[in-house]
Amino acid sequence: MCEPAGRRERKKRRTHDALSAAAIALFLDRGFGAVSVAEVAAAAGVSKPTLFTYFTSKEDLVLHRILDHRGEFARVVAQRPAGSSPLAAIEEHLAAGLERREPVTGLNDDREVLAYHGMVFSTPSLLGRLAQHTGQDEDALAAALAAAVPAAGELAARLAAAQIIAVRRVLARENWARLGEGRSAAQVFPDALAAAHQAFRALRRALPDYA
């Protein structure tokens, strides 16, 4: 009897998450460069070829947590409520993420999350791979902005997307750095929220078509 598609997808997702979790635990314990993909596969109880059916690179084993947010800003723009501008919708979404202490915002003081971000930000190959995925995020957001405000043109949409994605990256790094000074997420939150609103005020001035 065939396994239902929904159950298969859930099983694949659990395996995907378990492989990433096993890899990250090893990388945080011994260092990203000191652990081979074969060791990750062995720790997770799968073969190396099986591992590569779920992840295309060693770096993606780590970046899985961030890649769950791929296309997020594009979806926010596409699904924004009537009467809400693209920038307003993204700003509201980002503020809500800070409220929830989502790790992708940099404002999460869980010890493992802090160590995870430290590993990503200090490993050139991870930063390089992250930049590739960020470029894809930028493309998706540009397409959503172009669809939202077609009169502005595609070049304007691409330039706007690049600036918005850069703001997200800079704010997340800033939040992580503040936590690294020993402050709690609750202590940093007011500054993080103020910085986000300040950044979006600047974006509205620079990108009036999307404000």
Model pLDDT, residue 110: 96
Quick check: 9 pLDDT over 90?
Answer: no
Spatial separation of the C-alpha atoms in residues 56 and 19, rounded to whole Å: 13
| Confidence band, pLDDT 50/70/90 cuts, at residue 5 | low
Name the token pair of 70.
Answer: 């791929």
Q: Write down all domains in the chain, each with its CATH number in brackets.
A: 2-62 (1.10.10.60), 69-208 (no CATH)
Quick check: 19 pLDDT over 70?
Answer: yes
| Confidence band, pLDDT 50/70/90 cuts, at residue 4 | low
84, 115, 134, 148, 206 from 152: Cα distances, Å: 17, 42, 23, 9, 13
Mean pLDDT across 81-110: 97
In one-letter notation, the amino acid at residue 160 is A
94, 107, 198, 199, 201 from 194: Cα distances, Å: 12, 13, 6, 9, 11
Q: Which residue has the higher pLDDT, 2 or 193?
A: 193
Model pLDDT, residue 11: 84
Tens of pLDDT along 125-149? Answer: 999 999 999 999 999 999 999 999 9
Mean pLDDT across 112-121: 94
7, 8, 59 from 2: Cα distances, Å: 10, 10, 34
In one-letter notation, the amino acid at residue 97 is G
Spatial separation of the C-alpha atoms in residues 163 and 183, rounded to whole Å: 28
Spatial separation of the C-alpha atoms in residues 76 and 129, rounded to whole Å: 24
Q: Which residue in this structure is represented by tokens 């950044």?
A: 199
Q: Which residue has the higher pLDDT, 43 or 203?
A: 203
Mean pLDDT across 153-174: 97
**Mind spelling out the 3-state secondary structure of 15-46?**
HHHHHHHHHHHHHHHHCHHHCCHHHHHHHHCC
In one-letter notation, the amino acid at residue 192 is A
Model pLDDT, residue 10: 86
Mean pLDDT across 35-61: 93
